Amino acid sequence: MRWMRTLLANGTTAQAALLVALFAAGLALGLTVQTAEAAENSRVYVPKPPKGKGDKCMEDTKFMRANHMNLLKHQRDETMHNGIRTKKHSLKECVACHTVPGNDGQAVSYEDPKNFCRQCHDYAAVKLDCFECHASKPPKGQAKIHPNAKNAYRVSGGLPQ
């Protein structure tokens, strides 16, 4: 900090105060950038599942993160035993909306790590049972992919192997 002391000795008090303020601001800015970069380039894998093709989900994101399994389980029993086939909370509709394109532009199945469900399930190490029986992608030619979905897929520090 010798340069600052020299400046302080040579300049007026007002000039010095301005310089110190600028330095502090620069330091703060630098730190912010550094933090953002750290998150972006961290070696830790952070899931960021792509957006669905619709404008918004049936429920808000926070609720869905915590409760999607309960909604699906409830709906599965209603459909299986009572023949209730409403689209809200139906796995078929989840799959139809949350399609992720593979390298060929077609929707990927759950065997591909890019699959919407797998991104978080891989991260949390929770087994994904639904798709051992259920179709994990819409039938060929029926998949509609949200234009934003293509670039929304991001992997920080590589996928877990």
Partner 1 sequence: MTTPDKQTNTTNRRNFLGQSAALAAGITLAPGVTLYGVAQAKAPEDAVTAKVRWGMLIDANRCADGCNDCVSACNSENGLKGHGRPETDAQWIRKVNLRDPNTGAKQSLPVLCQHCSEPPCVDVCPTGASFKRKDGIVLVDKHICIGCRYCMMACPYKARSFIHETVTDQKPHAPRGKGTVESCTFCVHRVDAGGQPACVEACSKTSAALTFGDMNDPKSNISKALAEYPSSRIRADLGTDPGVRYRGL
Judged by CB under 8 A, does residue 133 bind partner 1?
A: yes
Nearest to 67 by CA among 80, 54, 77, 57: 57
Residue whose tokens read 């259920």: 134
Compute the distance between CA of residue 48 and CA of residue 53 in angstroms, rounded to an integer.
16
Among 47, 101, 102, 138, the residue binding partner 1 under the rule CB under 8 A is: 138
The Cα 17–Cα 12 span in angstroms is 9
| Closest separation in Å from C-beta 121 to partner 1 | 17
Residue 51 or 134 with smaller CB distance to partner 1: 134
Alpha-helical runs (H) found in 41-89: 61-82
Which member of 123, 134, 153, 159 binds partner 1 (CB under 8 A)? 134
Nearer to partner 1, 65 or 85 (CB): 85
CA distance 85 to 101: 27
User: What track of x and - describes contact with partner 1 for positions 72 through 101 (by CB under 8 A)?
Assistant: ----x-x-xxxxxxxx----x--x------
- Residues of this chain that bind partner 1 (CB under 8 A): 76, 78, 80-87, 92, 95, 109, 111, 132-135, 138-139
